Amino acid sequence: MAEGDARPRSVLIVDDDPDFAESLQDMLEARGYVTTYVDAPEKALTTLTGASAAGDPIPVALIDLRLGGLASGVDLISRLRDTEPELICVLMTAQLDTQTAVAALRFGAYDYFDKSVNPNSLFAVLDRCFDLVKLQHDRTAAYEALKVAKEEAEAASRGKSAFLATMSHELRTPLNAIIGFSEMMTREVYGPVGNEQYRTYINDIHDSGAHLLQIINDILDLSKAEAGKLELFEDVFDPRDTIRSVRQLISARVRESGLTETADIPADFPLLSADERKTKQVLLNLVANAVKFTPQGGQISIVGRYEPSIGLTLTVSDTGIGIAPGDLTRVLKPFEQVDSSFTRSHEGTGLGLPLVKAIMELHGGLLELNSQLGVGTQVTVTFPADRVVIDPDSAKSRAA
């Protein structure tokens, strides 16, 4: 019995010589082994399967080369391992030649024992066998532990996603009311506000509510993506219109930040079969990030290209602070942000790029991130070629 291992050292002896088998049993049991003896191949198969079914498998078998008649111990090794793949087989013979040894190893024998030598040499063989048994048990235990840990991690992830989704829904209702009522007050639907300071507060309430709602929407979408429940509502649309809408939405922020913004989109840019709202969300996140992390006087550009072999690409570039090579992987993970004095002075949750990546993967597309510290960042999203819709008549009319 191995040190620190309470499992009995069970051995199956398969030999058609009962006198030899009996002497072998006496020798092994004197050393603490638990032995079972059978004299025929079929009995060996029945004994092994019965022991496994009872929850007390026999890990090692000593098998004689010649089992009487035409039965071969080498053939039996193959049959036994088909039934018990982890069974450790030792071939016993008084005349082991090279050809037989090679055949035994090929059919699954782990070692051999020469009957003609000192019987005590068998103990060294069995020690090696039970060392392997221990390794097999340790490997199985490690696999089970990893499996349990994986299941627990997946359950925790599902719980987190469910919690975020529930909280997001609970928060959106009062936020929509705050945004709606503050907008009505700004427009003075039921009469003048009367105090300019109050008007400033109302605008702050509206803007803060809208910002918080956007964060909540991003969390909800990312939670759905992680749970595999983010859906696409596909349609054929003109990405030029989407780009134009994003530029209009972001224009005030670009001016306030002291930046310049350009777009380079071909006149014959093709149509796209995708989720239009999520495509707009992708582009808006990328441009908003570029504005956020580009100092005053910087430039932002949007470039669209189509290549039949690649697909439709949209690239947002900036001359901002850039990202260190070691942080490129981090920023694609939820809630991760580059740690610098510039980024800490700006609002953000680190959800933008992970959400863009999730949406693009849902479309079967890609996100490519290139950046250099102090030079700027370039993010390219690619929609696969099978999502591009070529409409010659539409292309001609737009070009005209």
> Does a structural domain hold residue 132?
no
Residue 161 and residue 108 in one domain: no
Residue range 68-88, pLDDT digits in tens: 766 788 888 888 888 888 899
Mean pLDDT of 139-166: 82
What is residue 4's predicted lDDT score, i.e. its pLDDT? 45
Neighbouring CB atoms inside 10 A of 11's CB total 24
How many domains, in total, are found in the chain?
3
Residue 249: domain span: 234-399
256 and 317 part of one domain: yes
Read off the pLDDT of residues 201-226 as tens digits, 9 standing for 90 and up: 998 898 888 878 877 777 777 777 77
Q: Give the end of a domain, one of 185, 201, 226.
A: 226
Token couple for 61: 């078998």
340: phi then psi, degrees, rounded to nearest 5: -155, 165
pLDDT > 50? residue 400: no
CATH number for the domain spanning 49: value is 3.40.50.2300
pLDDT digits (tens, 9 = 90+) for 27-56: 999 989 999 999 888 999 999 999 988 888
Assessment of whether the complete model's pTM goes beyond 0.85: no
Nearest to 356 by CA among 246, 235, 264, 267: 246
C-alpha 175/C-alpha 200 separation (Å) is 19
356 shares its domain with 262: yes
The CATH number that applies at residue 343 is 3.30.565.10
Confidence band (pLDDT; 50, 70, 90) for 369?
A: very high
Do residues 175 and 105 both lie within one domain?
Answer: no
Angle subtended at Cα 332 by Cα 257 and Cα 351, rounded to the nearest 5 degrees: 60
Q: What are the φ and ψ backbone dihedral angles of 367, each rounded to 5 degrees?
A: -125, 130
Question: Picking from 62-71, 86-95, 218-227, 309-318, which range would have the lowest pLDDT averaged per residue?
Answer: 218-227
pLDDT 10s digits, 260-270: 999 999 999 99
Q: How many CB atoms lie within 10 A of CB 134?
A: 14
Let me know whether 177 and 195 are in one domain.
yes
Residues 96 and 17 reside in one and the same domain: yes
